[in-house]
Amino acid sequence: MTPRMTGEYIIRGYGMEDAGAIRECVIALQEFERAIDPRLPPGEAMADAYCERLHARCSEADGRIFVAAENERVLGFVAVVAREPFTEPDDPPGTYALVTDLVVLEPHRGLGLGKRLLAKARGVRERRRRTRAAHRFARAQRHGAPPLCRSGLRAAHRDPREAVGMRRGLRRTTGPAPAVRPAATAAEPARSE
């Protein structure tokens, strides 16, 4: 029987105070995997090295660790790296996000914690995309695009063909709006006045 939680659980970023609990989760995961492949080392023997490598990988690849907690007690965690490079010959260039670890301790499974942890992990990649878009807009502004406010993601540029490829309504922060309409696409004929 799965015990039901008595309080509210939260998904939050990893803190140094969580190190011991993360280690216990790694041991639990390793012991589960050892039931499948007994050649794997015991959880207690590999946990410290694994945790060190987990933190190093997060540092190297723009990663994060999130924990599921109830009353400051860690019930599970997810580790995600946002810049895992493609390595296979048939892969596209660039990077992708990768969940390296997802653990929910056995007594707390079936409560939706894994889903909530994965949702938080997905947010890491989305935040990285938004940050890259913001950097592209800043770069476009340095190279002559008019100032933009941060309320949306559509470039108000003198020449729409040179605009950064984002679309969402933006307002100019200063000066008059440029008298430029977006270029017509093949599916949408140019409007005449």
Which tens digit of pLDDT belongs to each residue from 120-151? 998 886 766 555 555 555 555 555 555 544 44
Order of strands across the sheet that contains 9-13: 9-13, 63-70, 73-85, 95-104
Return the pLDDT at 166.
43
AA identity, residue 152: G
Radius of gyration for the chain, computed over Cα atoms and rounded to the nearest angstrom = 23
Residue 115 has pLDDT above 70, yes or no: yes
How far is the C-alpha of 1 from the C-alpha of 174, rounded, in Å? 62
Among 6-10, 43-47, 66-70, name the one with the lowest average pLDDT: 6-10
Is the residue at 88 inside a domain? yes
Q: Residue 30: name the closest of 103, 121, 110 by CA.
A: 103
Is the residue at 68 inside a domain? yes
Full domain range(s) for residue 31: 9-122
Is the residue at 151 inside a domain? no
What is each CA distance from 29 to 40, 47, 101, 131, in whole angstroms? 12, 10, 9, 33
Please list, in sequence order, all residues whose beta carbon lies within 8 angstroms of the beta carbon of residue 125, skipping any fewer than 6 positions away.
Answer: 80, 82, 97
Residue-wise pLDDT tens digits, 156-182: 444 444 444 444 444 444 555 555 555
Q: Are 18 and 74 spatial neighbours (Cβ–Cβ below 8 Å)?
A: yes
Q: pTM for this one?
A: 0.62
Number of domains, the chain: 1
Residue 3 has pLDDT above 60, yes or no: no
Q: What is the CATH number of the domain that holds 37?
A: 3.40.630.30
